[in-house]
Amino acid sequence: MAVLRENRYGKTGVRLMKVTREGSLHSIAEWTVRVLIEGEYTDVFLYGDNTDVLATDTMKNTVYARANLSAARSMEAFAGELSGFLLERNERVSAVEVHVESALWKRLTVDGEAHPHAFMKGSNELATATLKRTRDGVTLRCGMEDMVVLKTAQSGFVGFKRDELTTLPETEDRLLGTAVAAGWSYSGEMDDSAMVVTREKLRASLLRTFALHESKSVQQTLYAMGEDALTAVPELVEITLTMPNRHHLLVDLQRFGQVNANEIFVPIDEPSGYIEARVTRA
């Protein structure tokens, strides 16, 4: 006999671009939103009874309507507003989860000055936030994905275990490339503007440590980044970092009578090393 233990449903891939106009100075945010609701919907799944079912198309429209009315600058604050609105209006709903992904846009600099309303799309990096609101409270998980970085010095990998299947040569001078993914949680609550500032501070800390760290392995650099993030952002409780080792293979040019002075590489995405760790306060 089958039993419906848990259920949730919603709308995903709701894309929006919001322009905030403060006189001649404009700001933009490109968000992709996913809304999922949980509740007492057993009759829907078992018998097709759609009484009190909130259509996913209505959820999509709600995202746009609430974005239009919202003054939130951070996606965390918007996720809080949206989840509260849906929970309040739907008695059958016991929990609302809102996941937001924010694309990277940069303000253009023209003739040495920041342009008030022209922007350029950055990399594929995404800022993320997942907020879940129940009748009892709120949990928030923030993060980022696909922050692609590379350094051409201060990275090596030596002294590792070798056996009959080991072919990797040791090196004290290699390229270190990765696509950083991170997830973290905060202690206490922060207002809208603090969320924006804190995220920027955390991102800057991760980039600074990656650039300056004398890396003996990806593992060591990952831990240093997490440790420094906890120091730079007092509100941070813990951070999980994932850093695939995107290899850059030195090309053998000897057959052409040339010396490759650690300058010509073949970048590959797969296979790659995969390093992950969670760093917390003691």
| Annotation marks residue 117 as catalytic | no
Query: Which of the residues 11, 99, 132, 213 is marked catalytic?
Result: 11
User: d(Cα 58, Cα 171) in Å, to the nearest integer?
Assistant: 57
| Annotation marks residue 56 as catalytic | yes
| Annotation marks residue 248 as catalytic | no
Query: Which of the residues 32, 56, 134, 240 is marked catalytic?
Result: 56
User: d(Cα 6, Cα 260) in Å, to the nearest integer?
Assistant: 59
Strand-pairing partners, residue 150, are: 177
Query: Which of the residues 60, 99, 132, 247 is marked catalytic?
Result: 247
Segments of 205-282 assigned E as strands: 236-245, 248-250, 265-267, 273-280
The b/e string for 159-196 (b: 16+ C-beta within 10 A; e otherwise) is eeeeeeeeeeeeeeebbbbbbbbbbbbbeeebebeebb
Half-sphere exposure at residue 254, Cβ-oriented, CA atoms within 13 angstroms: 2
Q: What angle do CA 21, 22, 26 make, to 5 degrees?
A: 50
Catalytically active residues, by annotation: 11, 56, 247
